[in-house]
């Protein structure tokens, strides 16, 4: 696997109560597959938002040298849409990954898979040699990845290919019955890139991924919004005690909406995505309780889908039990972002807009100038997130944790 064009800080990942060295680095804003510029003279925001740092380590005082991984687990991607392709780019940009992506299940076939991976309206042109290899595989910098096409996971050749882990990226097979079809087909484990249904364990890197149990064959990486919300909510609850609160995510439109007015089970999502602000539901706030159980019943929220293709922003308002003020709240975020949530949470002091957070590696970036405290117990926090790239980085991280705890 080819490494990214540029690499920076080394890091470590936590899993099952242990810290594992040897995990790879982000490509992020430094990847030449993403034609972005640095942000003026602000070294702070560039380093906070773009640089790869340690992910969920209990201590990040010293960085470790990346070591080669002796054995890699074989990975298949089911569904080569927005998250599937972002995942592959994120994985490709890491060095010494414990993952070996060897197969993709995509109904579009080889030609579409290779073209859409290479050319992306949001990410730009992928800085890799991507091309079809016959009619059954694609090549990424010489790495041949088999492409199969079957809508029924039970029919996929996972046993024949020796697949260890399936990245379930269709958004369809999100319960035990659906995701379990990959197990029936011969895969050993499944990581769902969406909120899981039923009793499927949910993990958010930096929040509860250290509790990962290798005995679980099917797990969920939650949603992009939960990955943004949970880290800074954890800080607020630990430092100030959350009594209750509401959340609104102003979210870029997604493939689940209609380009022009057309039938949809959600009558608001049926309306033209690029022409409207579309109020809709989100389970992100409630889902925080899956990774922070003490917050069960304390948070709720909605989503406003807006006419932008990528990057979203969370607006959280909570009542806290400890009296505080805005500067103290931001100080808590800064401290945590430099320590246990380094690489997951960052703080921005620049007057930026959504496009500036495109391809941000972190899960959430608190906009410090917008933090407010009303009275002394009502706290408002605004946090940006790249709902595709940042989320996909966390999927790779969680897959790395699965690999590190493989059994």
Hey, which residues are catalytic here? Answer: 224
Strands (E), 17-92: 18-23, 73-78
Cβ contact 404:20 at 8 Å:
yes
Report angle CA 27, 33, 37 to the nearest 5 degrees: 85
Helix, strand, coil percent content, the chain, rounded in steps of 5: 30, 25, 45
Buried b (16+ CB within 10 A) or exposed e, 285-307: bbbbbbbbeebeebbebebbbbe
Q: Tokens standing for 314? A: 């969370």
C-alpha 239/C-alpha 231 separation (Å) is 13
- The residues near 312 (Cβ < 8 Å, ≥ 6 apart) are 224, 225, 228, 249, 250, 251, 252, 354, 384, 385, 386, 387
Cβ contact 256:318 at 8 Å:
no
Write the burial class of residue 88 (CB in 10 Å: 0-12 exposed, 13-18 middle, 19+ buried).
Answer: buried
C-alpha 174/C-alpha 198 separation (Å) is 9
H or E stretch at 113: helix 109-118
DSSP 353: -
Q: What's the number of CA atoms in the CB half-sphere (13 Å) around residue 390? A: 33
């Amino acid at each position: 696997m080819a490494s990214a064009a540029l690499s920076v800080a080394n890091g470590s990942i936590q899993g099952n109560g242990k810290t594992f060295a040897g995990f790879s680095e982000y490509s992020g804003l430094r990847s030449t597959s993403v034609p972005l510029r640095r942000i003026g003279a602000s070294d702070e925001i560039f380093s906070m938002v773009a640089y790869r740092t340690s992910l969920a380590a209990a201590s990040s005082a010293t960085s470790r040298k990346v070591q080669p991984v002796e054995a890699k687990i074989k990975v298949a991607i089911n569904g080569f849409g927005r998250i599937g392709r972002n995942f592959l780019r994120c994985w490709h940009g890491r060095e010494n990954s414990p993952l070996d992506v060897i197969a993709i299940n995509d109904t579009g076939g080889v030609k579409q898979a290779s073209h859409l991976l290479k050319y992306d309206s949001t990410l730009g042109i992928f800085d890799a040699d991507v091309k079809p290899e016959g009619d059954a595989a694609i090549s990424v910098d010489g790495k041949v990845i088999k492409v199969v096409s079957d809508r029924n996971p039970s029919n996929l050749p996972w046993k024949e290919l020796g697949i260890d882990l399936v990245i379930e990226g269709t958004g369809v097979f999100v319960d035990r019955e659906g995701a379990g079809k990959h197990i029936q087909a011969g895969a050993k484990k499944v990581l769902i890139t969406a909120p899981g249904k039923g009793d499927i364990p949910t993990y958010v890197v930096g929040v509860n991924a250290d509790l990962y149990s290798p005995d679980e064959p099917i797990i969920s990486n939650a949603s992009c919004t939960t990955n943004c919300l949970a880290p800074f909510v954890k800080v607020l609850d630990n430092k100030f005690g959350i009594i209750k609160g509401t959340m609104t995510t102003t979210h870029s439109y997604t493939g689940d909406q209609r380009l022009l007015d057309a039938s949809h089970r959600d009558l608001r999502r049926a309306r033209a995505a690029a022409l409207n602000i579309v109020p809709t539901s989100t389970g992100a706030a409630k889902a925080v309780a899956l990774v922070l159980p003490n917050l069960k019943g304390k948070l709720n929220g909605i989503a406003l889908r807006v006419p932008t293709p990528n990057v979203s922003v969370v607006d959280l308002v909570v009542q806290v039990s400890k009296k505080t003020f805005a500067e103290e709240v931001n100080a808590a975020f800064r401290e945590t972002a430099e320590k246990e949530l380094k690489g997951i949470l960052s703080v921005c002091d620049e007057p930026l807009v959504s496009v500036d957070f495109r391809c941000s590696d972190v899960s959430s970036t608190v906009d410090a100038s917008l933090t407010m405290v009303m009275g002394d117990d009502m706290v408002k926090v605004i946090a940006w997130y790249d709902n595709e790239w940042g989320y996909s980085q966390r999927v790779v991280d969680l897959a790395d944790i699965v690999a590190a705890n493989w059994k």
